[in-house]
């Protein structure tokens, strides 16, 4: 059953002005998500995951940042050209976002109820009383005990996990079609992480949302995502279904990421954790050719001269590499 994608990003390029020039943080990124589907975007810190998501919301601080080119199609409408007031109707209503830092993402001087009600009153035109009832319902939905009481709490009275639940309640309060979760569990401890992910999976099914899950935790991706986008230094280096990525990784970077996961089978790697040597290159000083060349164990002369583009391997699977890892050899 193929439905039309609710969100489609085409050749997105987002750049930031820096002293003496411009840095392209997201370069030629394309992907799409369908209702009820979860897309994982993985990659190291600074690879452009968050900038991609903020671009979709049009929340890139401008100046210094701006979307240089590309299209962001939401139900066919290009958000890059949308006016500010059109964007305001979409934000929090049709596309919602959960941020990485639950400890600082809630305003400390307003009650959580007030903050959830804000978007309900704004987008659903409910009265204060009705919005409060809805806010309590949302808090109950995300599993906050005694929501009638908690609704009047201030953020500092809640733990990190509880605050992230509040963020989720806030993001879901207007039944969005797309939920962007930017490392929703990074700041939380492991048991809470599992709860939050379970909750998001649950709600996705209930509400038939499309979810974009941004993370650097491959375990999380394996558990929750249908499709995966692997980003490196602002570019997509591999994309495919979760099976493609986990069982048939093609790009040496993806392969390296998977190999650097701790494994229970200690014999396989002599008890040592494998790593990808080196550092992500500075976006202002990218090497000629493939961006991953200096850290790649399969680098060839061609990689230093030309930049590889995404080549389809199988129907849904594509990678940008001249010397890909052979399927099965990982």
CA distances in angstroms from 318 to 242, 310, 314, listed in the order given:
12, 6, 7
Cα–Cα dist 230/213, whole Å: 12
Residues at the contact surface with another protein, assessed by CB under 8 A: 57, 59, 63-64, 85, 87-93, 96-97, 99, 101, 104-111, 115, 118-119, 122-123, 154, 156, 167, 170
189: which residues sit within 8 A by CB, 6+ positions away?
161
CA–CA separation, 166 and 144 (whole Å)? 8
User: Taking a C-beta distance cutoff of 8 angstroms, is the pair 90, 122 a contact?
Assistant: no
Q: How far is the CB of 270 from another protein (least distance, A)?
A: 42
Q: Token pair for residue 171?
A: 């993001």
Which residues lie closer than 8 Å to 306 by C-beta, 6 or more apart?
A: 289, 290, 322
Nearest to 34 by CA among 173, 177, 168, 171: 177
Residue 83 corresponds to which tokens in the numbers above?
């006016």
> Could you give the CA distance from residue 159 to residue 155 in angstroms, rounded to a whole number?
8
Q: CB 61 → another protein: shortest distance, Å?
A: 8
**Angle (nearest 5°) at CA 154 between 152 and 159:** 115
- Consecutive H or E run containing 180: strand 178-182
């Amino acid at each position: 059953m193929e439905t039309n994608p609710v969100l489609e990003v085409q050749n997105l390029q987002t750049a930031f002005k820096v002293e003496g020039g411009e840095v392209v943080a997201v370069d030629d990124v394309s992907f799409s998500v369908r209702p009820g589907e979860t897309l994982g975007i993985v990659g190291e810190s600074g690879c452009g995951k968050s900038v991609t998501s903020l671009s979709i919301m049009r929340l890139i601080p401008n100046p210094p940042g701006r979307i240089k080119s590309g299209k962001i199609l939401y139900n066919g409408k290009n958000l890059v050209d949308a006016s500010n007031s059109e964007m305001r109707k979409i934000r929090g209503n049709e596309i919602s976002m959960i941020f990485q830092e639950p400890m600082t993402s809630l305003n400390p001087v307003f009650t959580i109820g007030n903050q959830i009600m804000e978007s309900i009153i704004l987008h659903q035109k409910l009265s204060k009383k009705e919005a409060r009832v809805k806010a309590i319902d949302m808090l109950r939905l995300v599993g906050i005990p005694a929501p009638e009481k908690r609704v009047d709490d201030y953020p500092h009275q809640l733990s990190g996990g509880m605050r992230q639940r509040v963020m989720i309640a806030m993001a879901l309060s207007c039944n969005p079609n797309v939920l962007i979760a930017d490392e929703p569990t990074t700041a939380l401890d492991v048991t809470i992480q599992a709860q939050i992910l379970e909750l998001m999976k649950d709600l996705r099914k209930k509400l038939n949302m499309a979810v974009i899950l941004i993370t650097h935790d491959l375990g999380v991706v394996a558990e929750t995502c249908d499709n995966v986008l692997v980003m490196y230094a602002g570019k997509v280096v591999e994309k495919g279904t979760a099976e493609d990525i986990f069982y048939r990784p093609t790009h040496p970077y993806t392969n390296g990421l998977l190999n650097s996961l701790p494994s229970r089978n200690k014999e396989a790697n002599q008890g040592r954790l494998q790593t990808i040597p080196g550092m992500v290159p500075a976006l202002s000083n990218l090497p000629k050719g493939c961006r991953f060349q200096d850290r790649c164990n399969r680098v060839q002369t061609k990689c230093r001269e030309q930049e590889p583009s995404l080549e389809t391997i199988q129907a849904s699977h594509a990678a940008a590499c001249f010397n890909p890892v052979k399927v099965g050899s990982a």
